[in-house]
Amino acid sequence: MLTVTDLTCERGGLPVLTGVSFDVAAGQALILRGPNGIGKTTLLRTLAGLQPAVAGHVTYPEDESAYASHADGIKTALSVTENLRFWADVYGADLPRDILETFDLADLAERLGGTLSAGQKRRLGLARLGVIGRKVLFLDEPTVSLDGFSVKLFAKWLQDTHLARGGVAVIATHIDLGLAAPELDLTPFKSDVDAGGGTDEAFL
Partner 1 sequence: MIALLLRDLRLAVRAGGGFGLGLAFFLIVVVLVPFGVGPDTAVLSRIAPGNLWVASLLAALLSLDRIFALDYEDGSLALLATSPLPLEGAAMMKALAHWITTGLPLTLAAPALGFLLSLAPEAYAYLLLSLLIGTPALSMIGTFGAALTVGLRRGGLLLSLLVLPLYVPTLIFGAEAVRRGADGLDPSGALMLMGGITAGCFALLPFATSAVLRVNLR
The residues of the shown chain that bind partner 1, judged by CB under 8 A, are 48-51, 63, 65-78, 82, 86-87, 89-92, 128, 132
Q: What count of other Cβ atoms lies within 10 Å of the Cβ of residue 52?
A: 8
> For residues 150 and 143, what is the distance between their CA atoms, to the nearest angstrom?
8
Contact between 119 and 147 (Cβ < 8 Å): yes
In Å, what is the CA distance from 65 to each residue of 21, 47, 98? 18, 9, 22
Q: In the bound complex, what is the minimum distance in angstroms from residue 185's beta carbon to partner 1?
A: 26
121 versus 179: smaller Cβ distance to partner 1: 121
Nearer to partner 1 among residue 129 and residue 179 (C-beta): 129
Q: Is the dihedral angle over the CA atoms 111, 113, 117, 122 positive or is it negative?
A: positive
Minimal distance in Å, beta carbon 89 to partner 1? 3
Least spacing, CB of residue 177 vs partner 1, in Å: 22
Q: Min. distance of Cβ 71 from partner 1 in angstroms?
A: 2
Minimum CB–partner distance for residue 106 and partner 1 (Å): 23
- Cross-strand bridge partners of residue 203: none
Comparison of 33 and 55: residue with beta carbon closer to partner 1: 55
Distances (CA, A) of 167 to 90, 136, 147: 20, 6, 25
Whichever of 31 and 137 has its CB closer to partner 1, that residue is 137
Q: Shortest Cβ distance from residue 135 to partner 1 (Å)?
A: 13
Do the strands 2-11 and 65-68 form a parallel or antiparallel pair, or are they unpaired? Answer: unpaired
Q: What angle do CA 152, 158, 164 make, to 5 degrees?
A: 130
Q: Which is nearer to partner 1, 74 or 177 (CB)?
A: 74
Closer CB to partner 1, residue 139 or residue 179?
139
Phi/psi for 15 (5° steps) reads: -65, 135
